[in-house]
Copies of this chain bind each other. A is one copy, B any other.
Amino acid sequence: MATDQLDRFDRDILQIVQRNCQRTADAIAEEIGLSTSAVQRRLKRLREDGIIKSEIAVVDRKVTGTPMVFIVGMEIERDNYDALAKFRVWAEKQDHIQQVYYVTGAVDLIAIVTAQDVEHYDDIAAAIMAENPQIRRMHTNVVLRDVKLGLFVPLAGENTNGS
């Protein structure tokens, strides 16, 4: 509720915590010209309203034993009406499936998948096919390098570029 009445301060706060959600309310308050308690109240509301969906640590893949990433295009059976819903429920539980987008174009789904090595990816791909018969074909790109990583969303009307 009250989701689309973000004022200048809310937008400023979102810009800051999208880059670093460990900034203290005190530091944010000083930066945007508001009191500490006002910032805390707004942060609480932004969380409760789901505008801030989650606050997460971004971990360096290189040290996790799961260094590889694959970007996978998938074609699904269009006549299977709830294929997408089924896949969503299943994918949500698979920690190796990091992101999934339903798209227009040559493929229907694009997934970002992490794996320990190519053999491990082969196992994951086989599991995806086995668990989701509505998926007809998969087309895999191997990620050689992360050029940019993040989930930052600009706020329309703000100067969003990094300080």
Interface residues of A, Cβ cutoff 8 Å to B = 3-4, 6, 14, 17-22, 50-66, 69, 71, 84, 87-88, 91-107, 109-111, 114, 116, 139-157, 160-162
Contact = CB atoms under 8 A, between A and B. Distances in A.
B102 A154 contact: no
Contacts of A19: 54, 56
B20 A54 contact: yes
B154 A96 contact: yes
Contacts of A56: 17-21, 55-56, 58, 150-152
Contacts of A21: 21-22, 55-57
Contacts of A57: 14, 17-18, 21, 52, 54-55
A147 B14 contact: no
A142 B103 CA distance: 5
A105 B142 CA distance: 7
B58 A144 contact: no
